[in-house]
Chain A
Amino acid sequence: MEIIIYGVINSVTLALMALGFTLVYGVSRLPNFAHGAFYVLAGYICWMLLNRLGLPYFLAGLIGLAVVGGVGAAMYHFILERIRGMAISEIIASYAIGLAILEGLRWGGLKGGTFILQPFVEGSVDILGVSVDYQRILVVVLGAALVGLLWLFVNQTKLGLALKGMAQDERAAMTLGIDSDKMAVVAMALGSVFAGVAALILLPMGSIVVEAGYHVLIMAVAVCIVGGLGSWTGAVLAAFVIGFAQILTVAYIGAHWQVVVALVAIIITLILRPSGIFGKQKELEERV
């Protein structure tokens, strides 16, 4: 039973980490390697506002999200827009920005294990004999709500449909009057906010450390490659595949092998189906 319960929790955790990354890639074909840095930045801003200025949790979180959203949009508008389409340059530039943010935070004093956001709800409950803390249950609930909201936004709002159009066929979308760069800025801001939301939901279970930025980036990339770059459904499905594989590994092989799972999943996917479960990028080559 613990495998099922913690498998679901771990899978939703991974999905939360990856949603922002896949959203940005899906719309603008831009691999945002600063994704992990936005995750840590949002958590750190929230922590600072809570502990230094004494702001309420909700307001601190909201400001944190607004800041990372703004930084993400600015990063795209001022830097990445100029190199759009040059994949290697996009990766190098976004990774460099992420590195600067993370190491800048470390330089600025984000060291040690004492930067901790308190959980929204304290305590734990026994589910069919398995002890689970409320925060983890909340992760599943909020994760599912977030995926639902994203689906509604993409399918029911004008902006969401424009983003969807861009993701499906950028040129066709442009012929219909959709501003490609503007949509990419929106996607980047939204993706960064998603990284921030993931941080605010997940960080109360851990601590705010610089290394989390690199970890989240690796996991987001792994989930997106396995699910198919740019596919939101694929990302969620891949999160469950990797999430359960990790928990099974911990249960039957050993905890120290769990980091290998995501990397092995990438290798297997690239060998068997380079586009991932729902990817369309290389479908033609694969058929050939």
Chain B
Amino acid sequence: MHKFMKMFFALLAVLALVVPAGGVLAAKPIVLGAPLSTAFLYGWDAERAIKLAVDEINAAGGVNVGGTKRPFKVEVIDTRDLEAGVPVSEALLAVEKLILQKKANFIVGGPVRSEAALAAMALLSKHKMISILSTGVLTPKYHKIVGKNYDKFKYLFRISGEVVWMLKGELVPALIGVGKQYNLSSMYIMVQDVAWARALGKILGGIMKKKGWKVVGHQVYPTGTTDYSMGLVDAKKKKAQVLLLAMDMPESAVLLKQWFDMKVPALPFGTILAAAEQPGFWKATGGKGQFAIASVVNAGNAPSNATPWTMKFVNAYKKKYGLEPEGYGTASSYMAVYVLKDAIERAGTLNSDKVVTALEKTDMMGVYGRIRFDPKTHQIIPANDPKKGAVGTIFQWQKGKRVVVYPPSIATGKILLPPWMQK
């Protein structure tokens, strides 16, 4: 009898451990549809980050939906929207497939290219599908459209950055800062031939002119360009002191290699510069990436101590994938899942309208600072202080490391000039 009782209690103990986990696994999963351009950095890093967050949440018991624990499940479809020549309709098909075929409850991640995301807005609204954009798409048009027609587009949120704040809040002050530090006041703009980059180059050039800088050249390069010699020679000839770069194509690495080889005496100041963002960039260029500056839009996409969660996230990503968060779209995609979990739990349901209300009331400290959405436009509220809002990150490659140089509240170093620019 004694032996029987022992076995009975042991069995009970095992069941007590197994049943809740089994219960979560058995519960109907909440499907997160992720339309991402997976062949490109802003797609694959977002996919990895979403999966990391989902794994963490599921391992901790899942999402509490009105008293029932349910796991997240991720469905990814490649939108190919960052690939040259792929029509926007491909991304729309991917979104539609996620909604109708994969039965997604929520959309997180993309579409990644602004043009595709703008085109997908009506489709998402038609299905009352909550979408949290977390990578790519920097156009201010996105949240302006939400603000102008709130009732129709209230299901759409963006947890990553947008270009107006990036310009006024980060890039312009950072440029002015480095200008004052090293007495630089002329720039040569080199951007990719895509909507966001053309607009960014034009607007930033205009702002800097008003601030007393000279724009000595402006080149727009087709996606896939592999030779920048003529532009660099021109920049050198016109005595540009800063190269303002905006490119999301991997070939931007070529530009930086050429810049290094030709010893162009102008600081390569990247806004969005996909190739330089990746941790593997240093090794791939054999150290020629030294001094390249790039923005990764949100803190946490490169190591820093913006919040207590930042390095926790960086280390978790490193443990799972063997490298640091790779660039823009990583931290924000990770946070999109956590913010959604938080909103669903507060709403106690998956009902779109109720989750929208909960998302609008989001106020949590995340990987890149305080996370709140503007209640009218559903754009994340940015700041240069992580206690006040979502902070960005501009870093410079220094001795093989991505050293955060802006904003000052989280900076771990200062911008350095290459030896051939030092007087």
Contact = CB atoms under 8 A, between A and B. Distances in A.
Interface of B: 39-41, 44, 83-84, 193, 219-222, 224-227, 229-234, 236, 249-254, 257-258, 261-264, 274-275, 278, 280-281, 283-286
A206 B229 contact: no
A152 B262 CA distance: 35
29 contacts: A2-B233, A13-B227, A111-B39, A112-B275, A113-B251, A113-B252, A113-B275, A113-B284, A114-B253, A114-B280, A116-B253, A123-B261, A131-B233, A132-B229, A205-B226, A206-B227, A206-B254, A207-B251, A207-B254, A209-B250, A209-B251, A210-B39, A212-B226, A247-B230, A250-B231, A251-B230, A255-B221, A255-B222, A256-B193
Contact of A116 (B41, B234, B285): B285
A122 B280 CA distance: 20
Interface in A240-281: 247, 250-251, 254-256, 258-259
A224 to B, nearest CB: 20
Which 3 pairs from chain A and chain B are nearest by CB?
A113-B250, A113-B275, A133-B261
Given A113-B274, A116-B257, 13 more contacts: A9-B229, A113-B284, A116-B284, A130-B233, A131-B233, A131-B236, A131-B263, A206-B226, A207-B226, A251-B230, A254-B219, A255-B231, A256-B193
B281 A114 contact: yes
Given A113-B278, A250-B230, A254-B219, A215 B224 contact: yes
Q: How large is the interface on A (under 10, 10 to 19, 20 to 34, 35 or more residues)?
A: 35 or more
Interface in A184-232: 205-207, 209-212, 215
A124 interface: yes
A57 interface: no
Contact of A255 (B41, B219, B261): B219
B39 A106 contact: yes
Contacts of B221: 255-256
B251 A206 contact: yes
Nearest to A1: B233
Contacts of A256: 193, 219-222
Of the candidates A116, A205, A210, the one having the most CB atoms from chain B within 10 angstroms of its own CB is: A116
A249 to B, nearest CB: 10
Given A207-B251, A209-B251, A250-B231, A135 B261 contact: yes
Contacts of A123: 261
Interface in A80-107: 106
Contacts of A215: 224, 226
